[in-house]
């Protein structure tokens, strides 16, 4: 891990430097638990997420099949459950109604919104809350 002197120094950091300290500590802990390669991946994904430019290569993803669609489309509630972003349609509905779901940067305005096979072919990015991103493709 890090030398105690370095950790003591980081404990005095303020503002933007405090975020840098958090990043260093998160990297070191991830490296200890999962190895350096996974720590690099996690750090790159976190930087992409927090910079606002989501890195779709490293984000969790779900691959749908034609069987998942009904009449060539799928509703946002079903989509969120299939992607593991909500445990039930009820939970997904609450998230949408409360304004906590964005698709490709646009707020989902109603729980009745659905997506066609054409929209899903290139993939869409669902954002749940402030930090959870998930890519869905067909």
Separation between Cα atoms, residue 138 and residue 122, nearest integer Å: 8
Q: Report the distance separating Cα 9 and Cα 128, nearest Å.
A: 35
Task: Using the predicted structure, report yes or no on whether residue 59 has a pLDDT greater than 80.
Answer: no
**pTM for this model (two decimals):** 0.62
Beta strands in 1-138 (DSSP E): 61-63, 73-75, 101-103, 106-107, 114-116, 124-128, 132-137
Domains annotated on the chain, with CATH: 4-50 (no CATH), 61-137 (3.10.290.10)
Mean pLDDT of 85-113: 93
Kindly tell me if the per-residue pLDDT of 53 is higher than 60: no
Per residue in 60-82, pLDDT tens? 888 888 898 899 899 999 999 99
Q: What is the pLDDT of residue 22?
A: 86
Mean pLDDT, residues 8-37? 86
């Amino acid at each position: 891990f890090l030398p105690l002197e370095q950790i003591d120094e980081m404990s005095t950091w303020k503002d933007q430097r405090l975020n840098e300290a958090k990043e260093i500590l998160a990297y070191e802990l991830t490296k200890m638990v999962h190895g350096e390669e996974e720590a690099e991946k996690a750090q790159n994904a976190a930087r992409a997420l927090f910079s606002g430019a989501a890195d779709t290569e490293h984000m969790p993803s779900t691959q749908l099949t034609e069987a998942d669609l009904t009449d060539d489309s799928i509703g946002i509630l079903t989509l969120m459950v299939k992607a593991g972003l909500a445990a039930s349609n009820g939970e997904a509905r609450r998230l949408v109604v409360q304004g906590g779901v964005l698709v490709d940067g646009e707020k989902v305005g109603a729980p009745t919104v659905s997506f066609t096979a054409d929209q899903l072919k290139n993939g869409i990015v669902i954002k749940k809350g402030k930090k959870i991103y998930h890519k869905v493709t067909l």
